[in-house]
Each structure stands twice: as C-alpha cells, then as structure tokens.
Structure 1
Amino acid sequence: MPLIDMPLNELQKYQGSSIRPVDFDEYWTRALDEMRSVEPCIEIIPNEFTVSFADCYDLYFTGVRGARIHAKYVKPKYSKEAHPAIIQFHGYTVNSGDWSSKLGYAALGYSVIAMDARGQGGYSEDKGGVKGNTHYGHIIRGLDDDKDNLLFRHTFLDTAQLAAIVMELPEVDENCVVATGWSQGGALTIACAALEPRIKKLAPVYPFLSDYQRVYNMDLAKDAYEELRTYFRLFDPQHKREVEIFTKLGYIDIQHLATRIKGEVLMGVGLMDSVCPPSTQFATFNKITAPKRLEIFPDFGHEDLPGLHDIILDFFCDV
C-alpha cells in the first residue's frame, strides 16, 4: 500500500519518540488537585432551539484559572430513568457544532454534551495571563511560562471536570458515560478518559496532540502542527533549547496519559494521514492497556472515514 509513514507492522510496535517528563505523574496529580478545588458554579440555561423529543440547554461551569466553559447539552425529553450520556469534543480551532448534529443520539435515549474548547471557536473563555507568545496556536501557549500554565493543561482538565459534572446529573447513569471526538476531539477524548477513568467507553478518531517530536522529525510541523515550526523560527532558531522544549511539551502529550485509561477503546486511523501522522496515533494506541480495538482505513487521510460513524454508534449502543 502507499506509505507516508512506517509500514503497518512497525506502527503496531511503535512506542513514540517524545520525552516523558520524569515528574509527569506528579504534574497531573497536582493539576487534578487544582481542578477539584474549583467551585464550578454550574449554570444550565434553556436554549431557544427545540425539538419534540429533546430539550436543549447551554451548560456553563467554571474551570481552572477562572475560565467559564460552555457546552451544548441535549437531554431526551421523555426519559424516566437514568440514561447513558455521550460527551463530544470538537476539532482544533472550531466549536461544538450545530444542535441538530446531537439529535441522533438524543433520539436513542442518550444525553449529549458537546464542549467548546477554551479560547477556540465557541463560547468558552481563555483567560490568558501567560508570559511569552500568545499570537499563534494553543500547543505553544504558555511554553515560555511555568509548565503549570500550558493552555492544553487547562483544556485537558476542562474535559475531566465536565465528565464529572455530567456523571452527577440526576438524569444520567454515571456508569454509562462515553466520550468521542475526531482530531483535537480525539485527543481530548483520550485526555478525558485518562483524567476521569470512570468513562465507560471512548472512541477517539485520528487523535491530535501526540508525539510532537515525531511530527517534527517527519517534517510535518505544518497544518495543525505548524505552530511548532513557528515557535522554533521565532524563539529558538538554532534549536539550542530543543530538548527543553520537547520535554515541556511532554506534559501535554496524550501518549503519556494513555496508560491511565480504564474504559474500553475503539480508535479510528487513516494510514495516509499527513496532518496527524499514523505513527503519532499508534504511539498513543500502543500504550493503552485497557480493552481496545483499532479500525484502520489504509487509503484515507485526515478526512471523513466512511462507515466509522456507524461503527462508533454500534460500539456505544451496548454501553
């Protein structure tokens, strides 16, 4: 088959190139302690969009560093017992999407909660306040500041905090909460299930934010990863700080979180993906120790993967 990366037999063994910081576990323990100390001040506000079988709400909560985080919340109207919920995460720079895109799962009796990542295309806040570059990209946001100020640290925590909020909703069965997303949404799905291991099932598709060193070494720091190249060109043009920079990025590298996942995993990957290279995705998948399976699309890249939405729905339907 055509190749842009390693052969499949090598991908299935690949364990990643990026550095795992020595204090990685302590870093995320401290981060979760900060998250749990926040009073979320939850608001659930009816939205004017309505359908006959579901109610639609805007859900807001306060995340770490005081940011108000927004999610769309669709609840089945006639459900009399606690029911499953699906948490959805969107791609890089965009938002939680239209209400209508949530209605299929609501019609099946699921509550659907779709988060806006802070500071991107939706209504969630980015409070800012970091030293250094804020002009280009969220991967490098806070890279010149304390490691506890990396923006994706806060976004990963938002996913876990939202999951805990969803599990406490009286209409939701806390033992039947699942998560899914594509690209950045796939990365946030993995972060969510790693930091909130009660997530029952998860379906990440070609996840972003994995194995930054590998992306750079493949000369694919472009498109969604272009900010890595921009950072080096502006702030370290001779790569004198390369080890330091990639080590710091290791705190927000999802492959290092993957071992924490307890829920069952279904992951989709296109082997011609030049945006999130397959090896970076396998670096994460190969570290997952929970029950898992991979849906492989050999001739597809960072695009719609035919039939995968149906496979994911079937995977979630027996939760």
Structure 2
Amino acid sequence: MPAFDLPLDALRRHRPELDEPADFDAFWAATLHAAEHPEPLIRARPADNGLRLVESWDVTFRGFAGDPVHAWYSRPAGAPQLLPGVVEFAGYGRGRGLPHERLTWANAGYAHLLMDNRGQGDQYGNGGATPDPHAQAPGGPGPIVRGLLDPYDHHYRRLITDAVCAVAALRALPGVDRDRVAAAGNSQGGGVALAVAGLVPDLAAALVTAPLLCGIRRALDLTDAGPYGEIAAYLAVHRGAESAAYRTLSYVEGASFARRAQAPAHFGVGLRDTVCPPSGAFAAYHRYGELTGQDPEREIHAYPFNGHEGGDAVHVRRQLAWLRGILESAAV
C-alpha cells in the first residue's frame, strides 16, 4: 500500500483544529472520581509462567464502576530492589493472553503490568479474562461502536478508566517505584496510553505507537480499515446518527488528551498505516502538553515504508534506550 495520508513535510506541520467538548475535563474528572478506591488491588496471586528468569502474578484490580479487571504482573526473578514500572495496554480485540507472551519490559528490568481489555480478547492472540458488564447500550458488536451514541455509555469511557486504575494498581504492588511508572501501548494500546498521559498528571513517561483514537474525524474520511471501518459500517446502517457518534468520539479523541499531558513522550508511526492513519499521531504529537504551561520532552519516529507494524523491533529498541534515559534521570 503506497503512502495515502499527508506527506512527511506536511505531517511535521499538521496541527488541526479540534472539535473538543466544553465539558471534556468535567466529564473525565467525574468519571475518574467515581472509580477512585482506597484499595485499588483486589488480589495478586503467583502465576506459573514456565520461566526461570521472570516471575509473574495474576492480578485483579478495581476498574470502572469497581469492576474486577485482570492483568499480568511480571518482573525479573529475584530482583530485590524497587523497580520502575511500565503499564502496557493491548491492541484492539486482544486480551492479556498468557503470562509468558510479553517479556520485553520485564527482561529490560521493569516491573510490568499488562492490562486485560474488558469485553475484548476474542479477535486474535490468546484470549482475555475480563467481561464488560455494562455493554448493553445501542451500538454495534465491535468495541469501538459499543455505546457509540452516548459518551456515558461508550466502551472507551470504561476502558480508559480501567487504564487509569491500572496505573494505581501497579503502584500498589510490591517492589514498584511508584514515582517512576510509564504507560505504553501500540494501536488501541497507544491511544489508551496517550489518554492515560492526559489523565494521570504524575506519570513518568508515555510510549505511544500507531495510536488509535487520534484524529478520529480525519481517519473516518481516510480509511475503512480496522476499527474505523466498524464506525463507518454502523453509520451506513444508522443514517442520521453521525452527530451523536461524533460527539461521543470527541470525548476520547487522543489529541485532546495529549493537550493535557505532562510526561515525556515517545511516539512512533508508519507512514503507510491505513489502520491508524499517521496524521492522527502527528496531530497528538504537535498538541502534546499545550494546556499544561510546559513543553514536555517528546520525540516522534516515522517509518516511511511501513504500515501498522511501524518500526517493529527497531522501534522497540529505540523505546528501550529512550525510556532508560528518562527514568534514570528521574531517579537522580
């Protein structure tokens, strides 16, 4: 697939206007306040991952509406000291899978929490374990269109709230340096990590790759691939629902979360990505931190001949080096 979005020189200047609701901050403040709990963890049980150099725990924490959300907690075996942490968010339709699947962050010396996606896990990977008991509002079968006609019913209100609660859960686990916790994700996970950066003011860092939910209106005009195609298919049947859908999606727009973020951020994007068009990532990158009165450290890496896979392992290597520098300087 040849490049289909803006050319790189235009992306480097791409800072579109936002259709941001006036009550965006009030909406999220009320949502997160309702999810606050003095004990974020429900339980953490040792899990047999079949490995010798990494230890894992099966974690359950309180998410949206106090619902139990599952996660895998992993760390280098026998590490005696407090470790910086990484909360990772999985891609669209994927669950947490099995505890031995995602080992990069633990092997790099971090305390790693991989959050399950509520109501997902059936499209690829090795499954999930967290139902979504609130998914009864009108909408299509895919997560992105569940509750699409009302921001209070939308699936991503619940998933993003879970993600904020996951940061609190990791900080409550033993052996974690709560002052050095980063959020990371790719695709849907990248969009969720960006939302967490905008909602958790003391986050240490954000690693955002090929983010979903960024530049949503433009993405709907550009592509029918992936989750955006599910929105288009829903609106093709429910003619006249566009205004309600666009209003709901404005409350989960990644560029709006980016405006409120303070943590250093590392972005990655493939310029031939038809699933999450690169203009969305650049829109969030250029607006990152603009409402904070600060200029957070940030960088973006573009891969001109790659699609949704972006820089793949090359980009992960860049992430590892960057995050090490960020968290080591935070420890001084």
Same fold (TM over 0.5): yes
Q: Is the 8 A contact 2:144 2:227 kept in 1?
A: no
Say if 2:214 is the partner of 1:207.
no
Call closer, same or farther: CA 1:282–1:165 in 2, change over 3 Å. Answer: same
> RMSD of aligned C-alpha atoms?
2.0
User: Which residue type is aligned with residue 142 of structure 1?
Assistant: G
Q: Is the 8 A contact 1:118 1:124 kept in 2?
A: yes
| Aligned residue runs from structure 1 range 1-319, under 5 A | 3-16=3-16, 19-37=19-37, 40-121=40-121, 122-133=128-139, 135-145=140-150, 147-218=151-222, 220-236=223-239, 240-289=240-289, 290-306=296-312, 307-318=314-325, 319=327
Deviation at 1:42, TM superposition (A): 1.6
Deviation at 1:58, TM superposition (A): 0.7
Measured against aligned partners, the alpha-carbon deviations of 1:134-185 in whole angstroms (never above 9, x if no partner) come to x42122211234x222110110011111101212323111121112111111
Call closer, same or farther: CA 1:102–1:242 in 2, change over 3 Å. Answer: closer
Deviates more, 1:113-122 or 1:161-170: 161-170
Q: Is the 8 A contact 1:18 1:213 kept in 2?
A: no
Q: Is the 8 A contact 2:303 2:311 kept in 1?
A: yes
Q: Is the 8 A contact 2:149 2:244 kept in 1?
A: no
Q: SS state of the match for residue 236, structure 2?
A: helix
**Residue in structure 1 matched with residue 293 of structure 2 by the alignment:** none
The whole-number CA distance in structure 1 between the counterparts of 2:108 and 2:241 is 51
Q: SS state of the match for residue 188, structure 1?
A: helix
Q: SS state of the match for residue 149, structure 1?
A: coil
Q: SS state of the match for residue 216, structure 1?
A: helix
User: Which residue type is aligned with residue 309 of structure 1?
Assistant: V
Q: Is the 8 A contact 1:180 1:202 kept in 2?
A: yes
The whole-number CA distance in structure 2 between the counterparts of 1:97 and 1:41 is 20
Call closer, same or farther: CA 1:107–1:228 in 2, change over 3 Å. Answer: closer
Deviation at 1:22, TM superposition (A): 1.6
Q: Is the 8 A contact 2:266 2:298 kept in 1?
A: yes
Deviates more, 1:298-307 or 1:179-188: 298-307
Q: SS state of the match for residue 193, structure 1?
A: helix
Identity of matched residues, %: 29
Deviation at 1:71, TM superposition (A): 0.5
The whole-number CA distance in structure 1 between the counterparts of 2:190 and 2:103 is 20
Counting matched residue pairs gives 312
Runs of 5+ consecutive residues of structure 1 not aligned to the other structure: none
Q: SS state of the match for residue 170, structure 1?
A: coil
Deviation at 1:114, TM superposition (A): 0.5
Call closer, same or farther: CA 1:303–1:109 in 2, change over 3 Å. Answer: closer
Q: SS state of the match for residue 13, structure 1?
A: coil
Q: Is the 8 A contact 2:15 2:282 kept in 1?
A: yes
Deviation at 1:13, TM superposition (A): 2.3
Runs of 5+ consecutive residues of structure 2 not aligned to the other structure: 122-127, 290-295, 328-332
Q: SS state of the match for residue 251, structure 2?
A: helix
Deviates more, 1:197-206 or 1:152-161: 197-206
Deviation at 1:234, TM superposition (A): 1.8
The whole-number CA distance in structure 2 between the counterparts of 1:165 and 1:142 is 27
Deviation at 1:23, TM superposition (A): 1.1
Q: SS state of the match for residue 109, structure 1?
A: coil
Q: SS state of the match for residue 152, structure 2?
A: helix
TM-score norm. by structure 2 comes to: 0.88
Query: Which of structures 1 and 2 has the larger relative contact order (alpha carbons within 8 angstroms, sep 6+)?
Result: 1
User: Which residue type is aligned with residue 134 of structure 2?
Assistant: G
Call closer, same or farther: CA 1:104–1:254 in 2, change over 3 Å. Answer: closer
